[in-house]
Structure 1
C-alpha cells in the first residue's frame, strides 16, 4: 500500500488530501471491470447518460428474454457504471462535513 499526502494552505483553511493506492482495494469500483467503466464513458459521450441507460436497459431485457444471462449481466454492469458516474451519492468511506 502506498500513501501520498498533500497539504494546501488556503488562508483561514488548510486542505489536506491523502491518496491511498492499494491494488487489492475495490472501494469505489462496485466490483465492475475497468473495461465496463470505459464503455460506459463512450456510451455517455455518444448518447448522453439518460438515453444510454434506456438503450442498455432495452438491450439487457432482450438478452434476458433469449436466455443470454452473461451478456445481460455485462449490460447491467454498464448501467451501474453510468449511474455511478452521473449520480452524486455518498459512499460508506466518504467523509461528509
Structure 2
C-alpha cells in the first residue's frame, strides 16, 4: 500500500476561508475551533503536565509512513508512556 505524498499539502490556517474544509459559517468554524481548544485543555488536565508534555514529544516525532513510536526508536528518543495514564485511571473501583 502506498501512502499519499503530502509534501505540497498546505498547513492548517486559522482563517476559515483558507481551510480545505467547508463550514456553514464563520460562527460554525469558531465553535469547532473553541471545542478543539477545550478538548486539549481537558486532556492536559487528565494527563497532568508531565503526561501531556510526554505525549506532545511523541506526537512531534510522527512522520508520514512511520508511527511516532518507530520514529522515537529510530532517533533514540525515550518516551515514558506510563505518563500517558489519566489521573482517574490510577483509581480502582
Q: Shared fold (TM-score greater than 0.5)? A: no
Superposition TM-score, scaled by structure 1 size: 0.26
Bigger helix share: 2
Choose 1 or 2 for highest CA Rg: 1
